[in-house]
Structure 1
Amino acid sequence: MSDREDRGEPDRGQAQSGDRELGERVRRLRRERGLTQRQVAEPSYTAGYISTLEAGRVRPSEAALRHVADRLGVGFDELATGRSARLVGEVRLRAADARRELATGDARTADALFRAVREDAARLDLPEEEAAALLGLGECALETGGLPQAIAHFQAAEDLLADAPLHRRVPALRGRATAHLLSGDLRYACYLLETAIDRLNAAGLPDPEALVLLYSAVIAPYMDMGAHTRAAQAAELALALAPRVEDPALVARMHRGVARTLIAEGRTEEAAEHLVRAQEMYRRLQIRTELAHCHWMRGYVHAQVGELEQAETELRTARALLLERRAELFAAQVGVELGDVLRRRGRAGEAGELLDGLLERLGPEHGAVHAGGAHRLLGLMADERGDAGGAERSYRRALELLRPAGAAGDVADLCKLLGDLLHRTGRTEEAVAVYRSGLARYAAAGTTTLGPAPVEPPV
């Protein structure tokens, strides 16, 4: 102990505002236990020292604080921070309950649980736990379609962890990128993910779980932007790192992303194998939304090979699971795929009614890519029944949605459909202009990402 502490003299040069809170805590605990300042001080310190400590005019050494904690019958950390191990444990247990509810129950119920955890974590000054609660709130908002709220929650989590290593911020960053992707901002989603990948790899010792999370996440915007080669490369790198990943949910997500790249390459049997692996993992973990996504992709695989009855079954299962969880944005996206299957099965009336209903919930900043897909399907059905005007209006509306989103492959496809329609109706010059527009959009530099492809991991 210092001479000043032994004599009970205040060290006013060191005292700070936090010392007043500590002093108030010592005074409260001493009075609750019916102790005098002398009883707390002896035998190592003086009553005067305890008096100055309680007044917030001295910053005690660790030895002094441990002595006071022992005399008051509390833990050192509880006295120093005001939070007990019991309270911290309770916050963490409630956070685990909230995560379980999000995985197996209702996202709105989970949202309320995460909000309570966040409030308590902030009150107890637990930044890690508060960031985890914000991450959970962001996932809840993603599931319920609250994309601006999701972005805000994920950004707040990143801000709380601003001084932490990058790999600790990756889950929140991935969530923010996903929200921008669903909003229709594909390029920015790619930018966020690619930048994080490069920064992790530049460190020389990349965190495998963080990298697999990022590589798995970047596949979706790559595919929507028509950058299939980059998507395949990301899938290969994720697979190479997978043996070093212990989180089964992350491995399942990786298999789902890999399957999407294989579908685009026409390797449907291999894609189905990856989806089965992911589905089994999600079933064991009881993560129902991700399980629904597996049914969704299996339906898409069946549709790609012309197995339309099986495709409809899988897509209806996925949609029912998502509607049950009130994940309306994801359910609407599945509904667009289901509409295409119904059209191909000759049930155009049913498909049109479904798509019209879905477009009430999809739009430029809320599932823009799938909204464009719905208008494209409505255009195809109008074209098939001889309604050239209706088809043109739907195609043009789809282009209005997909061009700002950066979905270059879909834009090129639509320009061909619209160009063919204009050519058939004698508007040759307009058709040529539309064809050129689609080709220029697809071939222009920078249409897939804002920079060069991410570097590969050094190991």
Structure 2
Amino acid sequence: MAKRDDPETIGRRVQRLRRERGLTQRQLAEPAYTPAYVSTLEAGRVRPSDEALRHIAERLGVTYEELATGRPARLATDLRLRLTEAQRTLATGEAKEAAEQYARLLAEAEKHELTDLQAEALLGLGECALETGELESGRRFFERSEQVLAEAPLPARVRALRGRAVAHYLAGELRYAVYLFESTLDELNRSGLHDPDALLLLYASVIGPYMDMGAHARAAQAAEFALALAPQAGDPALVARMHRSVARTLLAEGRIAEADASLAKASELYRQLRLRTELANCHWMRGYVCAQNGELERAEEELRIAQSMLSAKRAALYTSQVAVELADVLHRRGKSEEAAELLRKVLGDLSSERGAVHAAAAHRLLGIIAEDARDTEAAEEHYVRALSLLERAGAAGDLADLCRLLGDLLRRTGRVEAALDAYRTGLGHRTAPGTTTLGPAPAQPPL
């Protein structure tokens, strides 16, 4: 039951409603109470019982909840309907329009102290900000959602924690994102809080940061746990996201057909749910699978579909990230000029604080294109920029390959000592992927 207001507030409300209806204190009180009792109640000197409030609410023609809390009848239900509408807008429409809906919902929820709805509205605003690439703003919304749910059990706070971790991940803060994911998983598993949806969301979400850090063994283990948890999960969108994430680990293990099958399951679920951004991400991932498998024409087609879908939704950061992968495919298809033009266009939207791993990939590819054109100076400049971005992000998965490219370039231009330094740096990242930046693995779920 909703928390009641204090006696003085209730007293003033009773008096206002009584006068609006033209009733005397006697008419309001009879037959169960006295006019003196109503007078005392209106003055805020007595805490009315539930029974007394129900009697007075009936005489005034309002609901018990409206009299006790000041909230209009069916307010919570109406706001829930508006929440569903905002969620649908974000899934199938535009993030900016959804953000406006969530903001109006948040104002109403705050006004009436409906904490659950406040938390949901803040989560929605955070997701909208991630979609439009406003990472700092998104992180703050997720933090506020966590604060609203501070007294709630950990599983209730997992979506806000996951949102915050993803904001840090997209900003290039891989180590901290992994720390947030792992510490939350550890707490859930050690304390026996076996919530399949919460665990599945975290395991599916940590795969990306693990892969970028070169921690492939941990990514594979997270995928294994996610697949084991999926049959117990109640949210089909969550299961679809899991299939999309798991495809990355299958690819890393060379299991192309299984990765494609995983993406097919995710795509079908997203189509059924009409989740446009997630479906675009599936085309994106399928393009990546095709590129890895050497099917470049099909890869280009899938990535262009993803880019078009994300661009239509004004998902700026994700659109830029897809463009980098599309440029790689174009370069491999011999369309290097088109690839370079695309990369230069999107680099303005990517930086060390916003899509660091993809910004590094853009510089790496521009370096390769410059090398092909025999412009060693420009190539070196791009490789060094990419190296700086990856080192800051802790993306060991790509650092070793980049060090090899830079080393080869330095060796060809006669700088042998500098080349050896670059190779040594690369070998340092190759030795034990992930172990230099990650502590002990989190406790395992009770499967």
**TM class, shorter-chain normalised?**
over 0.9
Contact 2:213 2:433 in 1 (8 A): no
Instruction: Output the amino acid matched with 2:115.
Output: P
1:355 to 333, 339, 343: 343
- Which moves more between the two structures, 448-457 or 110-119? 448-457
**What's the counterpart of residue 117 of structure 2?**
129
**What's the counterpart of residue 30 of structure 1?**
18
Deviation digits for residues 226-266 of structure 1, max 9, x if unmatched? 11110110011011011111211011001001111111111
Measure the CA separation in 1 of the matches of 2:402 and 2:139. 30
Instruction: Output the amino acid matched with 2:86.
Output: A
**What's the counterpart of residue 128 of structure 2?**
140
- Structure 2 gaps of 5+ residues are none
Contact 1:205 1:458 in 2 (8 A): no
Alignment of 1:2-401 (within 5 A): 18-401=6-389
- Which moves more between the two structures, 84-93 or 135-144? 84-93
**What's the counterpart of residue 412 of structure 1?**
400
Secondary structure, aligned partner of 1:60: coil
Instruction: Output the amino acid matched with 2:230.
Output: A
Measure the CA separation in 2 of the matches of 1:268 and 1:446. 24
Shift of 1:309: 0.3
Measure the CA separation in 2 of the matches of 1:41 and 1:151. 53
Deviation digits for residues 338-388 of structure 1, max 9, x if unmatched? 010011011111100000011011001011110000000011111122221
Shift of 1:65: 2.2
- The percent identity for this pair of structures is 61
Cα 1:450/1:38, change in 2 over 3 Å:
farther
Contact 2:216 2:433 in 1 (8 A): no
* 1:435 is aligned to 2:434: no
Measure the CA separation in 2 of the matches of 1:139 and 1:201. 26
What is the root-mean-square deviation in Å for CA atoms of aligned residues? Answer: 1.6
Deviation digits for residues 380-433 of structure 1, max 9, x if unmatched? 111122221111110000011111101012111111111111112221111111
Q: How many pairs align?
A: 444
Cα 1:336/1:447, change in 2 over 3 Å:
farther
Instruction: Output the amino acid matched with 2:440.
Output: P
Contact 2:256 2:289 in 1 (8 A): yes
Contact 2:5 2:68 in 1 (8 A): no
Shift of 1:458: 2.1
Measure the CA separation in 2 of the matches of 1:248 and 1:240. 15
Deviation digits for residues 137-157 of structure 1, max 9, x if unmatched? 111111111111100111111
Measure the CA separation in 1 of the matches of 2:41 and 2:404. 78
Contact 1:376 1:395 in 2 (8 A): yes
Shift of 1:45: 2.6
Shift of 1:307: 0.6
Deviation digits for residues 64-96 of structure 1, max 9, x if unmatched? 222322332322222111113422221111111
Instruction: Output the amino acid matched with 1:346.
Output: G
